[in-house]
Every structure is written in structure tokens, then in C-alpha cells.
Structure 1
Amino acid sequence: MISVPAEATGRLSDAWRACVGTGRIELALRRDYQDSLALLQREIGFRYIRGHGLLSDGMGVYRPYAYEGARRVHHSFTYVDQVVDAYLGLHVRPFLELGFMPTELASGDQTVFWWRGNVTPPRSYDEWARLVRATLTHLVDRYGIEEVRTWPIEVWNEPNLTDFWQGADEAEYHRLYEVTARTVKDVDASLQVGGPAISPGADEWLLRFAEFAERREVPVDFVSRHAYTSGPARPVPFGAYQTLAPARRLLDQFARPREQLKGTRYTELPVHITEFNSSYRPDNPIHDTAFHAAYLAPVLAAGGDHADSFSYWTFSDMFEESGVPTALFHGGFGLLTHRQVKKPTYHLYAFMARMGEELLERGDDHLVTRHPDGRVTVLAWAPVDETGRTPGPDRHTLRLSVPVGRRPRGAAFVRRSTVDEEHGNAWTAWRHMGGPRSPRPHQIDLLHEAAEPARSHLRLPVEDFRADLGLTLARHEVTLVELSPVEDETPPWWDERRLLGSPVEPR
């Protein structure tokens, strides 16, 4: 029996919902994207959203033309305005990523993704600076400087990888960063700019980035990196399988920037993990499973100890880096599939959104918080075997003595919401259906139904201001338990024995 303290040990960090990732941001022009984001915001409520492609050709910002024998450039923000308006209308702010390179400004033709984001340096850094200045000036003019000052501005994406930056040329990235950061500060000195948005396995890049920035006196307001735990991909048609490291390795990666920068002038800078997930592949079936929710539960519970934000990559399967998805469930990154079918990891986030602000207890398999009105919330998860050598335990038990209410005796109302292999798991239902690639309307309805958590309620006695809560979790289960003191208003004449009209003797 674990005795949960009656007094708070601190406040629960909400770094887990500071930001969420998205497919290229021009997808925000689509109705189904906005419908998915609206659902996410109603039930979870992220503060920022980050995605690639702000300056790529699909957004139509950089528009060179010839006039009177001279080459000129027009900057068009038609789509930018629509995207940002959609975000702000859904109460989420943009975490701006400056990239990729417009084709007409690029020095080469190397691209990444199905939608061909150009990853080469600008052929003119002066024109790049004018593009950055025009974009930020427009945003300030349209949304106001006080608003735009709250939007972090990240320079590029994973420049340490040759797929994302031509030749993974570190010196060239430093040049791009310096020109960009100084331009950002020319627009307004209070705008937040940072990087280097490196992928896992490139720790040395951050140290050299810090040395470069200090030597050149280049502005850096935050540092950013990404975190994943999957091994090499074993491809199959339209998918991949990968090994996974223990989830605590994500926490190690979250903590790494502060460890590296300790003792430097950047020690106190905010740390933003601008992408994280288990697999870095958008076609790994692990993303769709109950295992995935249980695997990530301890990361959401403790990640705020190490980073100011850690952004789940991504909120929706509306994501086309490898092409248009070939089936409703295809191992996409999203918390939601197309058609807004919730995955188990979506419910992990929704459960976290119902946790309280006061942190009472945190363990290897549980998190306990309290709300200002006295409600106590418990998030619990079954351990997983990420090696795949065993299926994981069929049952996992947890017993807690929970502080409830302000009366020595009474009762607590208990509500439990459960996601596991069979409950809150549309992926399981879809597999039972035979994995239809394009489910028919009635099948979509069934999947939405199957995606809802199992819910139950009961009443527990309270003795000495405490309720004993015993939980038995199924394989890969994540469960949310909410306890609130009962204020009994049952009238004195209520008697269940008389429901069918039979006279009974007084109690």
C-alpha cells in the first residue's frame, strides 16, 4: 500500500501540452485538419503547434517576377494568414519554424519528402534575410507585436542530417542561423529565436552551436532538439518495424541540453524538445497501439522535470512526408487518424488534461494530483516490455491510500476511465474487421465507438480522511481514476427495497 501525502509536494508541470507537432502547415487550409485540431483543443488544449514548410513553395510566400527588365520579389501571405487565423481561432499559437527554402531562392535542387521541401542554402543570403524580415514584419503588423513576441521562432529543422540540410554542412547552418537570428532581432529585439533543432545522436552539434553563438555574439533565446527511441527501420511495403529503447531514454534526451550547457552563458535558457515520439517513422504500427500509450505515460508524467516543452510528433495522421496514407490505420504519428478516430495515446493526453495542478505523488507506475476543489486524480499505467521478448504482464496491481475530503468519515465517488488492448482501442477493432483500408461509413461509426474508453464508477468508504484504492490493470492499460468526496443529499424516505412497490419493515 502506497500512502499518498495529504500535502502537495509541488505543482504538476504542464510542459507536456506546451506544444504539439503537425504535418506541413499548409495542411491547416483543409477542413478535416481544422476539424481534427478543434477536437484536440476541446479535449486536451495545447498552447503551441509546430510544423515544417512555412516558407516552402506550397505556402506561396516567395514570389519572384520580372518587371521593366528587372528581377523583383513579391512576398505573399495569403496562405500564411489563413493558417495562423485558423490556429488562433482554435486557441493555439504557432511555434514558427523557418524553412524550408523556396525553390526560386534555393542554391540547389535537393528536396525532402513527398511534397519536396527544398533543403539547400539560399543562393542569396540578402534575399533570405529580406524574406525573413518581410514574413515577421507582416505577422507583427497583422497580429500585433505583443502577440508575436510570444511565438518562438526556430531556425530550420535537423540540419545535422543530410536529408534535411544539404551535406549536413555545420558551418553553413551556422551562417544561416546567424543571418536569420540577426534579422529576427532587427524586426524586434524581444522576438524569441533559437535552434539548432538537432536530431538524436548529434549532441556535439549543440556544444559547437553554443561555442559559435558565443564567439560571434549571435542571439539565442532558447535551445531546441528532438528525441526518439527507435532503432534502424526494417521496411515492409508501406511500413516499417523497429526496436525500441526503454522510454526513460526519452527523458535522458530531454535532459541532455541542460547537462551539456551547464556552466555556459546558456545554462538558464529554455529547452524545447520540438519533436518527440517512440519511432521517427510515419508508418510504424506501434504508434496506433495501446502499448504506445502505456510506454509514453511515464514520459508525460516526468518530462516537465527536464524540458520547458516536449512536442508530440504529431497531433494527426494528416501527414504526407512519405506520401498520402494508404489505409486508415497505417502507423502514422498522429494522436488521431484521419476521420478523427482517437488512438490510445490520444487518451493518454486527454487523461493528463484532467489531472489537477497540485502534485501529491509520482511513482514508476502512477501519478497522483489534486484539483483546487479537492478532487483527487490518479493516472496509472501497466509496465511494458519494450524488448518484445515477452508480451508484458497480463495483470498489474497498485494499491494507494488516497487523501479525500475534509471529513474523517464519509464516502468518495470514484470514476474510472480505461484504455487497454480491448478498450478505447479502435486499432484492435479495425484489425478484427480485417483492416479495411477505406472503412465504410458504418465502419467509421463503429471505430469511433470502439475508440471511447471504458468507464465505470463506484463508491469507496473514507476513514480518517483517506480512501483505499486498489487497482488491477490489464496488459498495456492506462487508466484515469477521479475521486471526489460525496455530499450525500439522499432524502430520508429513499429505500431501494421499495422500488417494486412492496411494503418493507422499517430499517
Structure 2
Amino acid sequence: MRIVVPRQSTAQLPDAWRHCVGTGRLDLALRRDYQESLRLVQQEIGFRHIRGHGLLSDGMGIHRPYDHAGRRRVRHAFTYLDQVVDSYLESGIAPFLELGFMPSGLASGEDTVFWWNGNVTPPHDEREWAELVRAVLGHLVDRYGLEQVRSWPVEVWNEPNLRGFWAADQDAYHRLYEVTALAVKEVDAGLQVGGPSLAPGYEEGWIQRFAEFVDSRDLPIDFVSRHAYSSGPEQIVPFGTHQTLMPASALLEQFAAPRRQLAGTGLADLPLHITEFNSSYRPDNPIHDTAFHAAYLAPVLANGGDLADSFSYWTFSDVFEEVGIPTALFHGGFGLLTHRQIKKPTYHLYAFMARMGDQLLARGEDHLVTRHGDGRVTVLAWAPADPAGGEPLDGHTVRLSLPVGAPESHGSAFALRRSVSEEAGNSWAAWSEMGRPPAPNDRQLDALREAAEPARSHDGVPVSGGRAEVDLVLGRNEVTLLELTPVVDETPEWWDGGRLFGLGPE
């Protein structure tokens, strides 16, 4: 059946998908590979904020206790913080500040998470913690200006409902939130503070109790945050993990959950930020590198903006070390890019979204249609991806009648198509065919970069009565972007293609 796309826009296409992107711990931003990857992502996709762990961990060197004249004192040092934030702003992206983890000199215990030992215990001195929060935000305001820092959300901790990320109970998190939120507002009442940054799988009572606590104490809160992942139990192999996946709709259900769970509370109408999402929560699951992954997440990017104010892909780059230093170029990392800027298929899904118009014309289970202000029509289409492990579809067809030009116009449109699939734009497949070299040489890297580029094709499409009839036949796990531009024919009257080789009448 052919889908007749309406001529009039039904709404603006939400761009919640580009509001934020995730990153490894913040001190990784000092590395050249990281900076080159971020510049590339910003040139071709253009996220607005970036969020990662470790702002207050020892690797950033901010909290520096010392003894002098028989008294404990603290120096707040911003050497690395300034370099990190400067590099972000130079790349056209601003921080989404996660306040964590605990500096070792302020920690109440020795519980840590990740290979790099982020401390996950409450502060041993709440007053000193509040001073740290005020010092960091006050410094950012002094250096970058109040108006700019007011646009940087401040999230209190990360996944406090998981013992691995918070070595205390919910009441202790409530106390941390209270102390932190009040300290943030002491710097400036216009700064945005929120939480609780919950991991998937929490009981509804957790977020409801948080809302009750905030309401009962009349605490400041400007947004609500949670995370979303769709993977099942871990099957560990050497230097990797395999997991089952729920349908992609499970991610959308998680995006929607907080507003349902907070109905009737004082937090119900606050902005909702999904500050991490992906399929697997493991940074060594090869599903992240595949063409399947792009097709799997396409409906999430197409529909997620109806459910949340932002949803932040975890992460933009494989420069990431939660379970240790990666042992191979392709290792199942979260990133849209590998080390050395090899684009994965999911990178192209985001790059395609960045080329969509802002006027929403149609949306379905396998397509999204938009229009630009200059009249161009853009179509994102994808082959359905089956996480149950069934054979990927080959030959799935999306048939569309697209409004191009004025209602009575006739002529043609220039059609430019870009695609990634099992066979095209699939750097992971190319790497596999090379024999999976852990550390590719320069020649192999060049070949992988070339293999990573989408397939491109172009054509002239007839337009009759202001419509173009298009059949998009999709390969296995294909995601395609079609851009249609009405043609204004400026061919000179003397042009004769039959004489291209000098033949024909004198």
C-alpha cells in the first residue's frame, strides 16, 4: 500500500535526540583522539550538551585537601576543569553537569565503581561537600558568565538506585540531593538542578518517594532525569559481553514512564531528561558496532521526542574506559565513533537525523517524513530490526506519495539517497572481513574509513500534480535518507545530449 504523505505539516519535529550526548569520564576530554572525535561529531551532527561521569572524581583534581597550621583545609583547583570546558565550548557543545563521583578526600568509605575507581560513597562532611559544589559552580559562572551557565543543567549524582553507584540507601540520597540542590541555588537561583538520574528497573515507589521528599521539604528542582537500556542478562566472554535485547519499543516505554509515575506530584510537569540511553548497558557488547543497531534505534530517534525533553545517546566516542582500556579497535564500545574516528552505522543514523527538516509531515513504523523551509522533502526509512535474532529483512519496501512543489506543479525532483546496511556503510563488517585486526595499520584504517561511508545514489523523479511517487526498497538492516529537491530546469535551449560526442547535424 502506498502511503500518501500530507502536504501540510502536522507539527514541528522535536529535536530532543540532539539535546545531549554522553561521554566517558570528563578527564578523557584532555586526549587528542577524544577531541578529534568530538569535533567530527559536532560538524556532522551537532549536539547541544554533553554529559559524563567523574566531574568531581580525583582524575579532575578539583578537591584538594591539605593541612596547614594544624588545621584541615581544602583548595579547589580548576586546571583540568577549565581545559575540558574550554574544549567543549570550542567544539560548539556545552556541559550537562553531573555532580559525582565523590573525591577520595571527602568520601565516607572506599566503595568504588569502574576500572578507574570512581568513589560512590556519601560525603563524610556535608558542609565540605556543599562548599565544593558552590566552588565549582561559582567558578564556572565567573569564567563563562551567568547567562551561559544557567543553560547548563546540573544533575545530582548518577543512578543512586543501584548499589554499585551509591553505597548507601535512598534516604541518604535524599539528603545528598537536599544539600546539593540548596548549594546550587545559593550560587544563583537561575541555575537548573535536578535528578534523581535513575537506572532502569527501579520500582515506581523509588521515584514517587523522591517526589514526596522534594515536595515535603519544598526543595528546588528544575527537571527530572532517568536512564533507559533494553538489554537482558549478561553472557560474558573474554573481553566482551553478549545479551538479549527487548524490542526497541521498550526504550520508548522507559522514556514515558517518569511522567506516568509522577502524575499528581509536584514534579509531574517538569522537563524530563533521559540522560543515558542505549541498547546494552555494557561498553563491550558488539551489538553497538553493527548495522542492526542503527535500524533498531531508528524508531527511537523518530519518536522519542514526543515522550521526553531530551534523550542522550551513551556515548559519542569509544574513548571510554569503564571496564578497562579497550583491546581492539572494534570492541563493542558505546560510541558512535571508534577510536581514530571510524564511523559506525549508528553514527550515520544520527547524521541522517541532522539532515531532516523541522516540519513533520508523516511518521510510521518504518519511516519519518519532514520538510525544510526551502521546500526540500526528507525521508528517513528503515528496515524493521528483530532483536529476537530472526533473519534480517531484505527487500522491505516503503511506498510513499510525497508532496513536492506546489499542488499543481509538474516536472521533476532531484533525489539524493544515502544508505547504511549490512552491505553499505558498515565499518564493523569491513573490519570483520579484514580478519578483525586489533590494531589496524594506516592502510587498514584508511580502508575502514572508506568502507564506513554511506552508499550514495541519485536520480530524477517525476513530479505530477505536486507529488512524487517513491518506492524505497531496503536491504538487510538498512537505514536510508532520501532528500527530494524540486528542480528548476535551467538547461540552455541549445543543449542536445545526442551530440555529446560530437555527432549529429552540423
TM, length-normalised to structure 2: 0.99
Aligned counterparts of 2:222 and 2:187: Cα–Cα separation in 1: 15
Residue in structure 1 matched with residue 392 of structure 2 by the alignment:
392
User: 1:159, 1:198 within 8 Å by CA — same for their partners in 2?
Assistant: yes
Q: 1:392 Cα deviation (Å)?
A: 2.1
Q: 1:336 Cα deviation (Å)?
A: 0.2
1:310 aligns with 2:316: no
Residue in structure 2 matched with residue 370 of structure 1 by the alignment:
371
User: 1:107, 1:120 within 8 Å by CA — same for their partners in 2?
Assistant: yes
User: 1:497, 1:504 within 8 Å by CA — same for their partners in 2?
Assistant: no
Residue identity in the other structure for 1:481: L
Q: 1:266 Cα deviation (Å)?
A: 1.4
1:473 aligns with 2:461: no
**Aligned partner of residue 41 in structure 2, secondary structure:** helix
User: 2:212, 2:265 within 8 Å by CA — same for their partners in 1?
Assistant: no
Residue in structure 2 matched with residue 345 of structure 1 by the alignment:
346
Kindly report the root-mean-square deviation, in angstroms, between the aligned alpha carbons of the 2 structures: 0.8
Residue in structure 1 matched with residue 131 of structure 2 by the alignment:
130
Residue in structure 2 matched with residue 266 of structure 1 by the alignment:
267
User: 2:94, 2:152 within 8 Å by CA — same for their partners in 1?
Assistant: yes
**Aligned partner of residue 401 in structure 1, secondary structure:** strand
Aligned counterparts of 2:422 and 2:299: Cα–Cα separation in 1: 18
Residue in structure 2 matched with residue 412 of structure 1 by the alignment:
413
Residue in structure 1 matched with residue 493 of structure 2 by the alignment:
492
Q: 1:398 Cα deviation (Å)?
A: 1.0
Residue identity in the other structure for 1:287: H
1:336 aligns with 2:340: no
**Aligned partner of residue 179 in structure 2, secondary structure:** helix
Q: How does 1:410-489 map to 2 (within 5 A)?
A: 410-489=411-490
Which structure 1 residue ranges, 5 or more long, are not aligned?
Answer: none
Which structure 2 residue ranges, 5 or more long, are not aligned?
Answer: none
Residue in structure 1 matched with residue 175 of structure 2 by the alignment:
175
Aligned counterparts of 1:124 and 1:322: Cα–Cα separation in 2: 30
Aligned counterparts of 1:320 and 1:422: Cα–Cα separation in 2: 30
Residue in structure 2 matched with residue 223 of structure 1 by the alignment:
224
The Cα offsets for residues 113-137 of structure 1, whole Å up to 9 and x where unpaired, read as 1111000011101110111111111
1:160 aligns with 2:156: no
Q: 1:422 Cα deviation (Å)?
A: 1.3
Residue identity in the other structure for 1:182: L
1:403 aligns with 2:370: no
Q: 1:66 Cα deviation (Å)?
A: 1.2
Aligned counterparts of 1:18 and 1:175: Cα–Cα separation in 2: 29
**Aligned partner of residue 49 in structure 1, secondary structure:** strand
**Aligned partner of residue 323 in structure 1, secondary structure:** coil
Post-superposition, which runs of at least 4 consecutive aligned residues in structure 1 deviate over 2 A?
A: none
Q: 1:504 Cα deviation (Å)?
A: 4.6
Q: 1:204 Cα deviation (Å)?
A: 2.5
Q: How does 1:35-114 map to 2 (within 5 A)?
A: 35-114=36-115
Residue identity in the other structure for 1:240: T
Aligned counterparts of 1:142 and 1:487: Cα–Cα separation in 2: 51
**Aligned partner of residue 148 in structure 2, secondary structure:** helix
**Aligned partner of residue 243 in structure 1, secondary structure:** strand
TM, length-normalised to structure 1: 0.98
1:301 aligns with 2:296: no
Aligned counterparts of 1:424 and 1:208: Cα–Cα separation in 2: 47
User: 2:366, 2:382 within 8 Å by CA — same for their partners in 1?
Assistant: yes
User: 2:133, 2:183 within 8 Å by CA — same for their partners in 1?
Assistant: yes
**Aligned partner of residue 37 in structure 2, secondary structure:** helix
Residue identity in the other structure for 1:402: L
**Aligned partner of residue 340 in structure 2, secondary structure:** helix
Residue identity in the other structure for 1:286: I
